[in-house]
Amino acid sequence: MRPCVALLSCRPVTLPTAVASAPPEFAADGPLLIVLNAGSGRADADETQRTISAILDAAGRPHEVLRIERGMDVAQVAAEAVRRAQGRRGAVVAAGGDGTLNAVAQVVLPAGLPFGVLPQGTFNYFSRAHGISSDTEQATRALLRARPEPVQVGLVNERLFLVNASVGLYPQLLEDREAYKQRYGRSRLVALWSALVTLLHVYRPLRLQIECQGRQQPVRTSTLFVGNNRLQLQQIGVPEADLLAEGQLVALMLRPVRTLAMLGLMLRGAFGRLGEAEDVLRFGFERLGMRPAAPRRTARVKVATDGEICWLRAPLTFRVSPRPLWLLTPLPEDRVEPA
């Protein structure tokens, strides 16, 4: 029998959370505090900064660039950007990949400031889903005319995620992929090879206690993946992606399967057909509790949020944030359709 079948009915009926907060004060000529990750993506950070500054200077838009160099704490730099933007009707802009966006948004969200994006990463799921170009020049020009719009974000305990959060095999895949990238460079081939190596090792499935809409049920799964990005879910073939527009998150749980079957699931996802797999359970929710079935007194769980690994104390609660992130969204004529 497939696990956790009862949770398929976990459908809240509340209105989307992201419309419940008043928009922040924002001036079209307000300062832009740009947090630039010098190590994101493949572009030269100095050239990226020159491009951004040249466009903003030509437009007469006040701005400051706060660079994140190797070894620096992203949260501290983002907090300084928030401090400088507050009271000036300005905005904080993250220039980096999804991990950088996550770290900066973690600080911006409670401050209630507008949040801008200049994508510099490899996948850029968050920016692409909102029509923001991956070309720095084009994205900067669009930022000049962008206006704040409420965007739903997810939380696992109090940690924010823009794209996805997960426990189990998926965080291990991400951790191993990063180690391989450090040794062999960033490429899709390296990412694929690291995934194959990870899957060839024996991985013990998770035994979890899941709670949703007042129902509790034990499950056994190789991974629990929670999505908050319509583009990513659509690309792997998950029809529940439309539930995000209803103020929900989307959960995927994979049955424990052998290596060859897991490779088959990966191929289905690569070809946009994961939703057809019988070994994947999918459902929408607004709040989902999770803990190890036999937790230790101080149980900690490895969690991936937007590609970054952390350890959180159990139990975990996945939920829609009670406040939206006010994203500086391009005007319709500046939007770029995701490739």
pLDDT in tens, 21-37: 677 888 889 999 999 99
Domain 5-13+158-320 listed as CATH 2.60.200.40:
yes
| pLDDT at residue 261, as a whole number | 61
Inform me whether the pLDDT recorded for 257 exceeds 50: yes
> Are domains 5-13+158-320 and 31-153+324-334 of this chain identical in fold?
no
pLDDT (0 to 100) of residue 12:
43
Q: How far apart are CA 273 and CA 3, in angstroms?
A: 21
**Mean pLDDT on 110-131:** 94
Q: In sequence order, what are the beta bridge partners of 284?
A: 250
In CATH, which superfamily holds the domain spanning 31-153+324-334?
Probable inorganic polyphosphate/atp-NAD kinase; domain 1 (3.40.50.10330)
pLDDT above 70 (res 184):
no
Q: Collapsing DSSP states into helix, strand and coil, what is residue 327?
A: strand
Per the prediction, the chain carries an average pLDDT of: 85
Phi-psi region of 124 (alpha: psi -120 to 50; beta: other; left: phi over 0): left
Check whether the bond before 292 is cis (ω within 30° of 0).
Answer: no
Domain boundaries, the chain: 5-13+158-320, 31-153+324-334
DSSP character string of 307-318: TEEEEEESSEEE
